[in-house]
A and B are shown apart, each in its own frame.
Chain A
Amino acid sequence: MSFSAVIVMIVSIAALWGVATITLVHSMRQEGRKLSLLQEQGNFEPFSPAAQHDIEEWLARNPEGEKAREMRELLELQNQARRNNSRHFYHWANS
């Protein structure tokens, strides 16, 4: 088997089975963390710091209307979860 074919084969295995296995394991672990937070405190914050920033930015640009109301409710849900829970799912630098 040629050297280039061996390299392509190894890279393909790493890029597919490697990535698939890592994502599966990471995804299962994260789910385990979520379940543990749910059992301990009933809920957790649904958005990461970057995702929360997106909501705030969107609301600043679109403050009125039905869609803004829906977005504001999500932000409130997020803030409540952050306030009421001692343990967080996402990493918050200043918490």
Chain B
Amino acid sequence: MTTTISREQWGSRFGYLMAVIGAMVGAGNIWRMPYVTGENGGGAFLIAYFTLLYLIAVPGLMGETSLGRYTRQGLLGTFRKVYGNNRMVGLGLVILIFNVVLMSYYSSVVGWSVYYAYHALIGTFTQTDFDTAALWQAFSANKPLNVGMHTLAMLMVTGILLFGIKGGIERLAKWMMPILTIALIAIAIRGLTLPGAIAGLEFAFSPNWDYLVRGETWLAALGQALFSTGLGWGIALTYGSYLGRNDDIPLGGGIFTAVGNTSFGLLAIFAVFPIVFAFGISPSSGPELAFVALANAFGSMSAGYIWALLFFMGFFFANLTTAIAITEVGVTTYKEERQLPRGKAVLTICGIIWLLGIPSALNANILGYLDFVLGNWGLPLATFLIMVTIGWKFDAKRLRIMSLNRGADLYVSSIWEAVVRYQIPAIMLAIMAYFLYSNLSQTPWKTVSGLIVLTLMIPLCMWFMSRRHDTDSTNTFVEGRRS
């Protein structure tokens, strides 16, 4: 039987489900999905998206969560358990580094949402003739303020993680996710009552079937399905490691997580696009949409203070719960590797992320570069490594029998094994190759430099873990001789 390590567990089923949904629902659901849907054929995009969600995200999340539940360890502990104590554990270190780097710049995004939630609270957007574009430009140019917001975001993440899995992450998610849902529903209802709002829904949902045969539509759907669910980044693995032995995974950790996450994207379509079209704003995505266009629209609406507050608080909640999850991957792993009390691990990892995040807070180009490299190759590579580990090294069949179907509310058949072994790794390789092909001519320097760093990282991490293993073995031998 697998060695059972005494460790904290989720306090309730609802708490786990809200925490895992909170981890996946982030900025991308709110400021990206509505635009991507409308731009890629509306209904046609949604069909492509649903197909990929069920073919890739759902089975992938099932695998990652069940591996975490089986090993009951963080990233490095899991890789050590699967590969043995050797240099292959370095592959887990690669994924861990991706998480830390991802969080180093995502913390700036959390900082932006804190800043805008504050302005919504003090009623900035409802001031007469307030210029939201000027506010965004002034904020973007103010480097000390950006570092301050990044620092504040990391202090919040640190404070919550210090309370642990049950007392911190779970307690927070149990409140924040229902509040986010209610906030988006309320904004959607208000938006739909505005004159001209229906055009927004027409833009998002009107099916343009020509798009269904275009490769770009499927690629956009694949990108959204992968990046929105956070498949293969170690988050589902880490959260799964805190599940009980007989807790269900296929229904909660797989279907609910993937579908529930996308449901927030759908809700964002209802909340964002009616307002965008009612105010004659050009549909867009990213910070411009949230911090300029929508902030401006809220200011012009009756009772705009409430709608702005609901939106920006909800947006902040979505970002914060994601930031907590990304950071927890590092915290759990570091705590186990160094056998430290949780508090020390939280302070160390959050301190490292804070330090690494300062360049991104100071310079938007650095943030953009890191997002470019991680989004195009880093995160698909992480997903590839985890899926190959599950499918081939651990053996997908064994994992399905021993962990995935244990305590399951839904029986998962052997078809799942082929999906994890062949389908997801092949798609990951294809997506990385496509991004390389499409970016090489447009941004050669960024592409080549990013790929060099990523290519070097794998052997470096493997060498580091191999050296660490040798050092540990020597120390054990010396201590053995002394005693």
By a beta-carbon cutoff of 8 Å, the part of chain A in contact with chain B is: 1-2, 4-6, 8-9, 12-13, 15-17, 19-20, 23-24, 26-28, 30-31, 34, 44, 46-48, 50-51, 54-55, 58, 67, 70-71, 73-74
Contacts and interface: CB of A to CB of B under 8 A. Distances in A.
Contacts of A27: 13, 17, 248, 251-252, 256, 409
Contact of B13 (A15, A31, A73): A31
Contact of A26 (B259, B402, B409): B409
A48 B248 contact: no
B1 interface: yes
B473 to A, nearest CB: 22
In this complex, which of A13, A27, A28, A31 has the most chain B Cβ atoms within 10 angstroms of its Cβ? Answer: A27
Nearest to A58: B401
A47 B267 CA distance: 36
Given A5-B43, A51-B401, A20 B259 contact: yes
A19 B266 contact: no
Contacts of B256: 20, 23-24, 27
28 contacts: A5-B205, A8-B46, A8-B205, A13-B266, A16-B266, A17-B263, A17-B266, A17-B267, A19-B259, A23-B251, A23-B252, A24-B17, A27-B409, A30-B409, A31-B13, A44-B246, A48-B408, A50-B405, A50-B411, A50-B413, A51-B411, A58-B397, A67-B398, A70-B1, A70-B402, A71-B401, A73-B1, A74-B1
Given A46-B245, A54-B401, 20 more contacts: A1-B198, A1-B201, A2-B202, A2-B206, A5-B43, A5-B201, A8-B43, A13-B266, A16-B259, A16-B266, A19-B259, A20-B260, A23-B252, A23-B260, A30-B248, A48-B405, A50-B405, A50-B411, A54-B405, A58-B397
A5 B202 contact: yes
Interface string B158-177: 00000000000000000000
A15 B50 contact: yes
Given A9-B201, A27-B17, A67-B398, A16 B263 contact: yes
Q: Is the interface of A mostly helix, strand, loop or mixed?
A: helix
B206 A4 contact: yes
Interface string B387-429: 0000000000110111001111101010000000000000000
B14 interface: yes
Nearest to A48: B411
Contacts of B68: none
B205 A34 contact: no
Contacts of B398: 58, 67, 71
Contacts of B201: 1, 5, 9
Contacts of A30: 248, 251, 409
A63 B406 CA distance: 21
Contacts of B245: 46
A17 to B, nearest CB: 5
A9 B401 CA distance: 38
Nearest to B198: A1
B223 interface: no
B207 interface: yes
B266 to A, nearest CB: 5
A5 B42 contact: yes
Contacts of B401: 51, 54-55, 58, 71
B255 interface: yes
B7 to A, nearest CB: 19
